[in-house]
Structure 1
Amino acid sequence: MPINDEVFARMDELSPAERKVARALLAAWPTSGTESAASLARTAGTSTPTVLRLASRLGFGSWPEFQARVRDEIADHLNSPLRRSQEGIALGDGGTLGRAIADRVALVESLGTSVPPSEFDRAVAVLADRPKQVALLGGYFSRYFAMVLAAQLDQILPNVDFVAEPLGHDVGRFLQLGKGGVVVVMDFRRHELVAQQAAAAAKRQGATVLLITDTSLSPVVESADIVLPVTVDGIPFDSMTPLLVLIEALVEGVLRAAGPRGLERMRQWEESVRITRASRAAHAEEDVRDDTGPREVGAGNVEALALPGTEGGAVSAAPAGRPVETLDGRVAVVTGAAQGIGSGIADRLAADGALVHRVDRSEVDLSDTAATDAWFAGLGPVDVLVNVAGGVVGQTHTPIDELSDEAWDAVLHANLTTTRNCTRAAVRSMKPRGWGRIVMIASGAGRSVSLTGIQAYTAAKAAQIGFTRQMAHELGPHGITANCIAPGFVLSNPTTQAQWDSYGPEGQRALVERIAVRRTGTPHDIARAVSFFVAPDAGWVSGQTLSVDGGHSLF
């Protein structure tokens, strides 16, 4: 077995200091194996005796003996790529499918030796142990697998995000990572600098770094707490088949470890998500021609949405032959988009075709007028604005007779001043073009009382509802609609998770029993309502406040 493979296989046998040496050794393999023991010790941040102990554990009597073995392996490795290519060409085209299947089965089986079981178990544990936030990122090809892992984990865990540009467009969400957060980095050979920089930044912020990489090890290993190496190979590109198997194993492991929590979140998804399925074209045509009776609304059956007309025939949701309008080409701004409801809304609008700009307080202080105006000015024209930024700014209930001016003002600035500033800035580009959509995310607290008992929060959310009505009245002549959503209890971020946990089993049960559909909300529930309000063909809906609370407001 090659030295680096043996180190992988025996990683769980090593002491913490020896593991640091092993990671430093593998991070720059095979060059690191030709360095002196003292040089490798400095790189690993350990001592020379630790390096020598690792060599001894691997069965070498001295460091020079270890280096001689490394040089032999280098010589063999230098010849192997050419030899593999020559053999592949010599085999010709016959039996390509069979060879490809056999090669990929071998790669999958190699997971048993490339991934140390102890490291895999640690990865499952940190993901399942209620992380405050999980951010996933990948490279040129591996980003698509990071998206798959993020999408599947999101149905088991709250606060999971795929971060496309951790040091660019998505830096706001990435900067939220800290102690209690987890960043999953996928970086395979032709390792990318941004992955190394992002992992180092997350590590400095106190997050746990989980690296999934090839067996030559990405430089991210220097910042990684957990490393899962995957053997990749193939013609013409590295096969990601074993990576997909590893992803599925991780998801299964996390679900098993999360237990009832994970199953409950999956249940919420099952009850909330509705995906319209397309039928075969021939069947769709038959449905359109069949006018013999009532039909269900479904793919290929738009006319089932028809309403009685006043002049014979019917008034349909969309004229025959014309597709429903989308947000393609529209520019949207979502504030408070680092996580939770804001992130879910931004994702939904992007899926609807909009070019979405996400902003959060880590990037811009939206309660500062000058900073807000400057940020919006840099965007150019804006078509859609969703005001999500706000919250309780870390406060808990304080009796009104003990409440300070500073505490009151902080909540009003976070919720109401930001709404005013962003609306004013966005309207400046909407008015001249005669079109715009504005949605305020208020709260059920603005229509009733706050579960947290924070007076300023209730006042700010009630004010947002009033502000919505006034904006609808003022901006309607300019082709701009303004609407509001009052969410119920949505488990969407560390604050709401902490609030939920504080209720205990009995309090949680009592809260759910006051919700007609008997479940808490998800960011996707709110995002769907926003998608309706901002749709191009929703231009006759304005000044409305919609409670999206599962029927909680009925009680």
Structure 2
Amino acid sequence: MDLELAGRKVLVTAATRGVGRAIAERFLREGASVAICGRKLRRDRPIVRNPANEFDNDLASDGLEEALAAMTQLGDVRGSVVDCSDQVQVTRWAEQSAGEMGGLDIVVSSASALGGTARTREGWDLSYNTDLMSAVALWNAAYPHFLKSDAPSFVQVSSVAAVEYHIHGDSGQAYGAMKAALINYMFSLAQQYMEQGIRVNCVSPGPTFVEGGSWDFIEQRMPEYNVEQLARQPSGRLGRPEEIADVVAFLASPRASWVIGENVVVDGGYTKHVKF
């Protein structure tokens, strides 16, 4: 199926690794122009902003140069270090990228603090600002450009943690709460802006293995919990980033023109509630 993505202009947050990177690479393979951003939270020392409210790339970069070098082999891509918990930086990056690409057709919001620090107010604030408010900033920045597109689409990466209990530890509380809020927010946007031709949807991945990611950590450090979660998977394995990316690409594409305000669960049967 031709997804009609060739020539489309796409933003993807948190796309230097994992699911976000797989999503960006899928769009590139479909012939889209893509702008990515990424940032790795350094917990061993503080991230310092300069007077221009930008991050020090040496402290904040999450493999951006490596990701861009690899993605350049696939197509037209550009990237920046962005702190997605900072709405000013998110807005500036989105507007700058749209200007460089000559417009904007698709936005994929996938940044997450992964629950922040358990129990603390700072952890909840980090989740709120990174997961939820980055999406708000992206939408606000993208909206004027969407009005000029003939097939505008906003896809939010949420999580099955929003609809299915599988929390281990306190940090999962903030994570699940923010992912649930995102689904509600996306549905509201979909209802309000479809009359202007803008489609808004969510994709909620189940446990997905990324080398160096959360489930890699769980496999190495929490083997009993890992075995327990694998037992919930009918296939006996975790998802792959590419399996999430394929669904996101379709949902964002003009071929999904009649899919509006949905939360598409991509989890290999992990969630057990009957999806009427």
TM-score range, shorter chain: 0.7 to 0.9
Label 1:411 to 1:394 Cα distance change in 2 as closer, same or farther (>3 A).
Answer: closer
* Residue 192 (structure 1) aligns with: none
State the alpha-carbon separation in 2 of the partners of residues 371 and 444 from structure 1. 28
* Residue 16 (structure 2) aligns with: 338
* Residue 243 (structure 2) aligns with: 525
State the alpha-carbon separation in 2 of the partners of residues 533 and 435 from structure 1. 12
Per-residue deviation, 1:411:
1.3
> How many residues in Structure 1 have an aligned counterpart in Structure 2?
226
Q: Deviations over 1:301-348 (max 9, x none)?
A: xxxxxxxxxxxxxxxxxxxxxx84521110011100010000111111
Counterpart amino acid of residue 406 in structure 1: E
Residue of 218, 225, 250 corresponding to 1:499: 218
- Within 5 A, what are the aligned runs for 1:26-425? 324-361=2-39, 362=61, 363-379=81-97, 380=99, 381-392=103-114, 395=117, 398=118, 403-425=119-141
Q: Tell whether the 8 Å contact from 1:345 to 1:524 is kept in structure 2 after alignment.
A: yes
State the alpha-carbon separation in 2 of the partners of residues 434 and 357 from structure 1. 19
- Within 5 A, what are the aligned runs for 1:20-31? none
Per-residue deviation, 1:493:
4.6
Label 1:457 to 1:450 Cα distance change in 2 as closer, same or farther (>3 A).
Answer: farther
Q: What is the SS of the residue equivalent to 1:525?
A: helix
Per-residue deviation, 1:358:
0.9
* Residue 550 (structure 1) aligns with: 268
Counterpart amino acid of residue 130 in structure 2: A
State the alpha-carbon separation in 1 of the partners of residues 140 and 211 from structure 2. 28
Q: Deviations over 1:158-184 (max 9, x none)?
A: xxxxxxxxxxxxxxxxxxxxxxxxxxx
Correspondence 1:436 to 2:114 = no
Q: Tell whether the 8 Å contact from 1:526 to 1:548 is kept in structure 2 after alignment.
A: yes
Per-residue deviation, 1:434:
4.8
Counterpart amino acid of residue 446 in structure 1: A
Counterpart amino acid of residue 459 in structure 1: A
Label 1:325 to 1:459 Cα distance change in 2 as closer, same or farther (>3 A).
Answer: closer
* Residue 165 (structure 2) aligns with: 449
Counterpart amino acid of residue 485 in structure 1: V
State the alpha-carbon separation in 2 of the partners of residues 339 and 368 from structure 1. 20
State the alpha-carbon separation in 1 of the partners of residues 36 and 256 from structure 2. 23
State the alpha-carbon separation in 1 of the partners of residues 2 and 123 from structure 2. 46
Correspondence 1:513 to 2:231 = yes
Counterpart amino acid of residue 435 in structure 1: A
Q: Tell whether the 8 Å contact from 1:439 to 1:483 is kept in structure 2 after alignment.
A: yes
TM-score with structure 1 length normalisation?
A: 0.39
Label 1:404 to 1:509 Cα distance change in 2 as closer, same or farther (>3 A).
Answer: closer
Label 1:393 to 1:460 Cα distance change in 2 as closer, same or farther (>3 A).
Answer: closer
Please provide the CA RMSD for this pair.
Answer: 1.8
* Residue 23 (structure 1) aligns with: none
State the alpha-carbon separation in 1 of the partners of residues 221 and 191 from structure 2. 41
**Percent identity between the two aligned chains:** 31
Per-residue deviation, 1:356:
1.0
RCO (CA 8 Å, sep 6+): is it higher in 1 or 2?
Answer: 2
Greater CA deviation, 481-490 or 508-517? 508-517
Counterpart amino acid of residue 355 in structure 1: S
* Residue 485 (structure 1) aligns with: 203
Q: Deviations over 1:397-444 (max 9, x none)?
A: x4xxxx222121111111111111112111221023353111111111
Q: Tell whether the 8 Å contact from 2:115 to 2:123 is kept in structure 1 after alignment.
A: no
Correspondence 1:473 to 2:151 = no
Per-residue deviation, 1:392:
1.8
Which has more helix, going by share of residues? 1
State the alpha-carbon separation in 2 of the partners of residues 424 and 500 from structure 1. 38
- Consecutive unaligned residues of structure 1, counting only runs of 5 or more, are 1-322
Q: What is the SS of the residue equivalent to 2:250?
A: helix
Label 1:435 to 1:326 Cα distance change in 2 as closer, same or farther (>3 A).
Answer: closer
State the alpha-carbon separation in 2 of the partners of residues 525 and 377 from structure 1. 29
Per-residue deviation, 1:494:
2.3
* Residue 189 (structure 1) aligns with: none
State the alpha-carbon separation in 2 of the partners of residues 434 and 478 from structure 1. 10
Q: Tell whether the 8 Å contact from 1:366 to 1:421 is kept in structure 2 after alignment.
A: no
